Amino acid sequence: MGGTSPTPTPSGGCRGSGPPRQPTPAGLVQRYLYAYGPATPQQFAQWLSAPRRWATELFASLAGDLHQVDIAGTVAWVPAGDIAPQPGPPQGVRLLPYFDAYTVGCHPREQLFPGPAGQRALSAGQAGNFPVLLVDGTVAGIWHHRRTGHTVDLTVEPLTTLTTAACRELDDQVERIGQILEAEPRLTIGPVALRGHA
C-alpha cells in the first residue's frame, strides 16, 4: 500500500483552521446592507433585535464606508460603492415561499406591502408568515399549495386585478412549482382559507 504520509496539523482541526472569526459590528452592517439594503439604522436594529440608539451610533461611525440614498422620501444607506443605478423597476410575477428573504428583509414594509397587501400578508407587521404573490416587485396577493398524490393544488388570492400578461406569468409560475414538486399542478384563483405560518 503506497501513498503519502499524513501531514501533522495543529491540534484542533485542519491546517490553518482556528476558532471561527466573529464578524465585527461594522462587518455585520456591511453584510446586512449588501443583502437587504438600502436600509436605515432602525431597520438594522429591528433585524438584529438590538437597541436603535446603538444601531444609529454604529451607522454614524461608519459614515465613510456607507452611502446615503433617498428611497421614496426615506433616507437610507448602502455600502459605499454599491450605488450603481438599477436597470429599471422590477417586472414580472413570482410566487415566493414562506419566509423568503425578499419579503422578510424588506423595509419600509409599506412599499413592498401596499394597502390591502399589508393587512392580508403581514402578521402584526411581520413578513414571511404567508407565501406571497409578487407582481412587478410588490406583494399583490398570497397563495397556498396542497399536495395530494401526484397533484399539487395551488390557490392564489390576488389582492389586485391581474392583467392578462400577469395571468400568463402566474400560469408559468404554477407550472414551475409543479415541475419542482414533480406533480401535476392545478390553479385556483380565490380566497386562501389558511391562516399564516406560526
- Poorest-confidence range of 5-19, 125-139, 163-177? 5-19
pLDDT at residue 5 above 80?
no
State residue 149's pLDDT score.
94
pLDDT at residue 30 above 80?
yes
Would you state the CATH architecture of domain 25-79? Orthogonal Bundle (1.10)
The larger pLDDT score, comparing residue 22 to residue 58, is at 58
pLDDT more than 90, % of the chain = 57
Whether 127 contacts 113, CB under 8 Å:
yes
* Cell 412587478, located at residue: 136
For the chain, the domains span: 25-79, 93-189
Instruction: Give how far the C-alpha of residue 175 lies from the chain's centroid of Cα atoms, to the nearest Å.
Output: 22
Taking only the tens place, the pLDDT of each residue in 83-142 is 776 777 889 999 999 999 888 877 778 888 999 999 899 887 788 889 999 999 999 999
The larger pLDDT score, comparing residue 156 to residue 36, is at 156
Nearest to 156 by CA among 146, 48, 106: 146
- The number of beta carbons lying within 10 Å of the beta carbon of residue 77 is 23
